[in-house]
Amino acid sequence: MSKYKLRKDAPDEVKTLARVTDLVIVTYLGYEITFGSKTASTIDTKMKETTSAGGGIRILGIPIGLSANGGSTKEHNTHTATWDNASKTMKILPSSDTGFATVIGVVGEKFKLAT
């Protein structure tokens, strides 16, 4: 039972919610993303622009460093990325010295709000 109450005329679709019971958290998460041709072309252009400006990117909220050779080490970056335009693939690898944890999922249970 929730301490929150809805108006009696609230639509049924807003009455059923989920209560988080568990989090799925990982450390040292690395992954690969392969893009379609059109998206890869855009990413290639943007990666070159961002790299030449000394910038970084975030994917799923994870700060990722870039440089001309595909990796960088800035204090706030927890991961590095490499971009391969030929395979249209970006590889994101965690830095070995970070204690960065990422929430990748939640487990919950349904509950109904009282009206």
Domain shared by 76 and 43, yes or no = yes
Looking at every residue in the chain, the average pLDDT score rounds to: 82
How would residue 2 be classed by pLDDT, with cut points 50, 70 and 90? low
Range(s) of the domain holding residue 82 = 29-99
Domain shared by 51 and 16, yes or no = no
pTM for the full model? 0.60
Domain shared by 55 and 92, yes or no = yes
> Is the predicted pLDDT of residue 79 greater than 50, yes or no?
yes
Domain shared by 72 and 37, yes or no = yes
Question: Using one digit for the tens of pLDDT, what is the confidence trace for 29-77?
Answer: 888 999 999 999 999 999 899 888 888 888 877 788 875 444 444 566 7
Domain shared by 112 and 87, yes or no = no
User: What does the chain look like in DSSP terms, one character per residue?
Assistant: --S-B--TT--GGGTEEEEEEEEEEEES--EEEE--HHHHHHHHHHHHHHHHTT-EEEETTEEEE--TTS----TT--EEEEEETTTTEEEEEE-TT---EEEEEEEEEEEEPB-
Domain shared by 14 and 40, yes or no = no
| Percentage with pLDDT > 90 across the chain | 30
Domain shared by 85 and 112, yes or no = no
Domain shared by 87 and 49, yes or no = yes
Domain shared by 95 and 111, yes or no = no
CA-wise closest residue to 27 among 97, 107, 89: 97
Tokens 């929150």 sit at which residue?
A: 4
What is the count of structural domains for the chain? Answer: 2
Domain shared by 33 and 63, yes or no = yes
